[in-house]
Structure 1
């Protein structure tokens, strides 16, 4: 274990040349530097955030949703049918033509009625609008709080105005109280997301979001240990800037304030694309790759850190394309419609109306702008 620890904490990987861990010990004048042990404090804070969220959703968010007229019950349940239930639970949830034909003969139902039953059965365990509204309201409050906290903290930080300050005298940059609280709060929030993801609304990108949250925790922990906190705070604030707007769009979408939803989503899209495709490469990547090279020079963890940020930029491009696509649909069709991550399928009534030749209704009550979250907010380097 001693050999493994020595290998993992190799100074030549983590620190610039001629710098040792002993050099970053606490100084006599009270200055303190980041230590790996500090990261363990994020766990009890994450648990506290999780408990606070449960209380917030129950005491504040749910009453707000009900006052706005949102339905507390989920989608309509399928009528009891033992044969179809057995097929649903043990064979397939989405029967193909062969299964439909066999079931139609067995039950003497037409195939459309069977398809409708399976659709209702898939949807009946989905969460209600009240549940989804409550989840979005919690995220809206936290994202708005943490972004406001970050801006207030960075406003007086010299590296916010001059990114070269991120590298002056690096890594001998003392850990201040405000810097520590900002980082630990963000880290604890992402740990709480990893906990709560297993009880949250299940969506198609569950695995993708779990990987994202894990990557966010890794990046936060990595940058804390090698004291790249200054540039880390810039990345955090930049990626937090648009998330609360997305949650606001989702809440207004659930409450059926469509024009307000579209406005919030357009604001989110514009800010998201600007921060991820313009400001991030010209402000963040410029300082981590070029200014730092000039002032401190490269070393192994420097290469890893910049490699991860470049991967993040590739993801930002992908997520921005998804946001632009949804924004284009909104402009051309007059409203933000569902995307591929919607967690409730189109109602059978709507499909029946389409078959009968009547006007097809787009189901905006199930998630219009909602499901961009996994692609967008969760592109967040330290979340999404």
Structure 2
């Protein structure tokens, strides 16, 4: 849960900053994607506000590679996740070095919004059962988050990303800069990113199908743990959650009956 809370804060701040740059400054990259290559030249100065976004995002994805490999539980899509982080970090690094930072800002904007909704939904899934109690508001919020996550994933990553980013890099770039360097290299990375977006969208479709057919009653992660060790860790986490909930419920019952627990012994409360 702390990880999801931290990611929610980070993605909210980073996406808000990208939104500010694209819609509240002089940058017209979202409404006019070909403009990302207007007046492009090798070695041009990177604006400070975009450089700040690059520094923050590069640091985050550098850490994410380490966290996915060495800290997170290994899931069915963990390999794809590592590839995603490597591709993203490569795009951030090389687009900054070769001054394709304008299109990079647009890519960041189109992707971060889904991560906000994902972490928001995960937090509400955690919060809907606490201390042996069920909280309807968090159940509703988790369901709303799942719906909005599915819709915006398709809109931002599978519709606007090809329409605005890939068209600009594949077509408009050659119109503005006929001999633009690293054309195939950067477009191959962006196409790889699109393929991974499609891959994860299949999980979303599977989730929606299970909900609509009644096979799933609660919002949960469809990405399975891989390997015996991963399954054991998942089972251990589930047992710990159940134990904590049982203990919380026991404390509540004892309090209601006028008892308290001290050193593992239940005693009567006296006024």
Is TM-score (shorter-chain normalized) higher than 0.5?
yes
Deviations 1:251-292 (A, max 9, x none): 111112322211101111110111121111111111111111
Give me the whole-angstrom Cα distance separating, in 1, the residues matched to 2:64 and 2:82: 9
1:195 aligns with 2:66: yes
Give me the whole-angstrom Cα distance separating, in 2, the residues matched to 1:185 and 1:345: 35
In structure 1, the partner of 2:107 is 235
In structure 2, the partner of 1:335 is 218
SS in structure 1 at match of 2:99: coil
1:161 aligns with 2:17: no
**Structure 1 residue 346, shift from structure 2 partner:** 10
1:136 aligns with 2:8: no
In structure 2, the partner of 1:276 is 157
Question: Once superposed, what is the RMSD of the aligned Cα atoms?
Answer: 2.5
SS in structure 2 at match of 1:242: helix
1:170 aligns with 2:51: no
Structure 1 residues 300 and 136: alpha-carbon distance in aligned structure 2, compared to 1, 3 A threshold: same
Q: Which has the higher strand share?
A: 2
- Check whether the contact 2:207–2:222 (CA below 8 A) recurs between aligned residues: yes
Give me the whole-angstrom Cα distance separating, in 2, the residues matched to 1:346 and 1:225: 45
1:266 aligns with 2:147: yes
In structure 2, the partner of 1:209 is 81
Give me the whole-angstrom Cα distance separating, in 1, the residues matched to 2:111 and 2:39: 26
In structure 2, the partner of 1:99 is none
Deviations 1:92-122 (A, max 9, x none): xxxxxxxxxxxxxxxxxxxxxxxxxxxxxxx
1:248 aligns with 2:138: no
- Check whether the contact 1:277–1:317 (CA below 8 A) recurs between aligned residues: yes
In structure 2, the partner of 1:218 is 90
Gaps of 5+ in 2: 129-137, 240-244, 246-271
Instruction: Choose 1 or 2 for highest CA Rg.
Output: 1
In structure 1, the partner of 2:16 is 148
**Which range moved further: 153-162 or 180-189?**
153-162
- Check whether the contact 1:147–1:237 (CA below 8 A) recurs between aligned residues: yes
Deviations 1:288-309 (A, max 9, x none): 1111111112445111111221
Structure 1 residues 302 and 262: alpha-carbon distance in aligned structure 2, compared to 1, 3 A threshold: same
**Structure 1 residue 335, shift from structure 2 partner:** 3.2
**Structure 1 residue 217, shift from structure 2 partner:** 1.2
Aligned length in residues? 218
